[in-house]
Structure 1
Amino acid sequence: MSDKLKDIIKTQNEQQEPGIDHSDNIVQLVGFIIGEEEYAVPILTIQEIIKPISWTRVPQTPEYVLGVFNLRGSVIPLIDLRTKFGLPAKNHNDETRFFVLKQGDEVAGFVIDRLTAAIRIKKTDIGPPPDTIASDESMIDGVGKQAGRILTILKVNKLLERDF
Structure 2
Amino acid sequence: MSDRLGEVLQRQKQQINEPENTKDREEIEQLVGFIVGEEEFAIPILYIKEIIKPIEYTRVPSVPPYVLGVFNLRGSVIPLIDLRIRFNLEPSKMTPNTRYIVMQDNENIAGFVIDRLTEAIRIKTNQIDQPPETLAKDKGMIQGIGKRDNNILTILKVESLLKRDF
TM range (shorter): 0.7 to 0.9
2:40 to 30, 38, 41: 38
Residue 163 of structure 1 pairs with residue 149 of structure 2: no
Distance 1:48 1:148 in 2: 29
Contact 2:82 2:92 in 1 (8 A): no
The farther-off stretch of 23-32 and 70-79 is 23-32
Unaligned runs of 5+ in 2: 1-22
Question: One-letter code of the match for 2:59?
Answer: R
Distance 1:90 1:48 in 2: 20
CA deviation profile, 1:78-103 (whole Å, cap 9, x unmatched): 00000000001131000100010001
Q: TM-score under structure 1 normalisation?
A: 0.84
Max radius of gyration: which structure? 2
Contact 2:82 2:112 in 1 (8 A): yes
Structure 1 vs Structure 2: percent identity of aligned residues?
A: 62
Matches within 5 A, 1:1-164: 25-164=27-166
CA deviation profile, 1:7-58 (whole Å, cap 9, x unmatched): xxxxxxxxxxxxxx9x671000000000010000000100000000000000
CA deviation profile, 1:72-130 (whole Å, cap 9, x unmatched): 00000000000000001131000100010001011000000010000000000000112
CA deviation profile, 1:145-164 (whole Å, cap 9, x unmatched): 11212110000000000000
Distance 1:88 1:49 in 2: 22
Distance 1:78 1:91 in 2: 15
Contact 2:26 2:124 in 1 (8 A): no
Question: One-letter code of the match for 1:32?
Answer: F
Once superposed, which parts of structure 1, at least 4 consecutive aligned residues long, lie more than 4 Å away? none
Distance 2:85 2:38 in 1: 14
Structure 1 residues 134 and 65: alpha-carbon distance in aligned structure 2, compared to 1, 3 A threshold: same
Measured on the aligned residues, the alpha-carbon RMSD in Å equals 1.3
Higher percent of residues as helix: 2
